[in-house]
Chains A and B, each alone.
Chain A
């Protein structure tokens, strides 16, 4: 089995310092929409300058490099145990090279491990054995500010008048974005999961954030709701950084799951403008970064 430690360090470097083109394009479009001279426009200018500067200097886009969340798809014959070891080594090495800030704090002792290695879920790694012969590693860095404003609703919710249907999902999502204000470093991207249990629903809501900003949901009903939620959350007028303005949400990605007859969860994961996610594909000796 190949040693992927060094390619993984490079994956982390790219994710932390080089914002994906689809995200940057959407932020540039958001900038154009804000009135010139407004605080919102100024915020978007600063964000875009910061993105360019980080790429040029190979320094973290944001000092909160978040929880590293890995999704690994590997073919038969690869060892998940060894891959995990290599990922953990790569995370520690990337921290040493200042691509990541030491972020793993023991919740009981308050001690920061200093190398981003905590318990089994820090970094978070999801494994799945797949057909074919490629290893595909997706990485997302999920910052604390935006993670804190994520929310889960158990429907029905009488305060919102939200029932167990897509109309209820819409109401829950609108409420989550209004409550978040600018605290999650708006403008944000919404990852929404409908169904599941509390745990699987959060997991799926983050996985939805890997979808390209401009893709369309294959389910026409969900595609319509995604569009509607992006438009309606923008009507809230929260704007970049909560300064007021036209863009609060850049895109919405929704995924449906199975649920228990007794439960109906709507989970909203909020991703800040610094939507750091990258993919690495290993095809034989070749490593391809997207």
Chain B
């Protein structure tokens, strides 16, 4: 198990290889479909004018994302009425839905780690090489365990997207994940897909 602290240095990123288990500590931010679309439309593709608190939120999240991590997660959060937020269940959600945006979002903010489940495609893998960055696969379904690694919820942006879609700023300690896409163009997902396909062909021929 490799201990990694956030933000992550370029050197540390380059030393990671697919299959490496890691334990992350530091501050990260959650974001899924609504957050990625908002970042892409407002600040990258600029197909929509910033409005409301958009610019303010952008300035606030930028320093957290530079060299940092974004987590594809729709948490169950308690303390919504008192604003004394706590993560109750916080497993990863399927990452492929962010494939159209992720590469550009990584480049724009210089994000070094994307965390989720199920892996991502060629566009994200290319961005991992350029930025450089990695894709970290969290354990799907391990909601209670991951919630326990969340020490503190330090803030939330765009709560108007809804609780699962909002951007939660969390401080984690020893958050468990596995590197499944690295900065050297390797994808464990592409690898396993190809190997299992070859094995399937063999079994179908029997």
Contacts and interface: CB of A to CB of B under 8 A. Distances in A.
Interface of A: 38-39, 42-43, 46-47, 49-50, 53-54, 57, 59-64, 98, 101, 143, 145, 160-161, 171, 174-175, 178, 181-183, 185, 232, 235-239, 241-244, 272-274
Interface of B: 1, 19-21, 74-76, 78, 88-91, 94, 117-119, 137, 139-148, 176, 178, 180, 188-189, 191-193, 195-197, 199-200, 203-204
Contact of A181 (B19, B143, B147, B192): B192
A175 B75 contact: no
A236 B193 CA distance: 9
A158 B140 CA distance: 34
Interface of B is mostly: mixed
B89 A60 contact: yes
Contacts of B193: 181
A164 B163 CA distance: 48
B203 A62 contact: no
A237 B195 contact: yes
Given A42-B176, A174-B204, A50 B143 contact: yes
Contact of B91 (A38, A62, A273): A62
Given A39-B19, A39-B178, A53 B145 contact: yes
B93 to A, nearest CB: 8
For A39, A49, A175, A232, the residue with the greatest tally of chain B CB atoms inside 10 Å of its CB is A39
A99 to B, nearest CB: 11
Given A181-B118, A244-B188, 10 more contacts: A38-B19, A39-B20, A39-B178, A49-B145, A54-B144, A63-B89, A145-B117, A183-B118, A236-B196, A236-B203
Contacts of A54: 143-144
A62 B196 contact: no
A178 B200 CA distance: 7
A46 B203 contact: no
B196 A237 contact: yes
B196 A181 contact: yes
Contacts of B140: 62, 145, 182, 185, 241, 272
Nearest to B189: A242
Contacts of A161: 204
A242 B204 contact: no
A150 to B, nearest CB: 15
A241 B140 CA distance: 7
A258 B203 CA distance: 28
Contact of B200 (A57, A236, A244): A236
Contact of A62 (B141, B192, B195): B141
21 contacts: A39-B21, A42-B1, A42-B178, A46-B142, A61-B141, A62-B141, A62-B142, A63-B74, A63-B90, A174-B200, A175-B200, A185-B141, A232-B203, A235-B203, A236-B200, A236-B203, A241-B137, A242-B189, A243-B192, A244-B191, A273-B141
Nearest to B201: A178
Contacts of B195: 237, 244
A267 B43 CA distance: 45
A183 B90 CA distance: 17
B196 A98 contact: no
Instruction: Indicate the member of B94, B141, B188, B195 with the most A CB atoms within 10 Å.
Output: B141
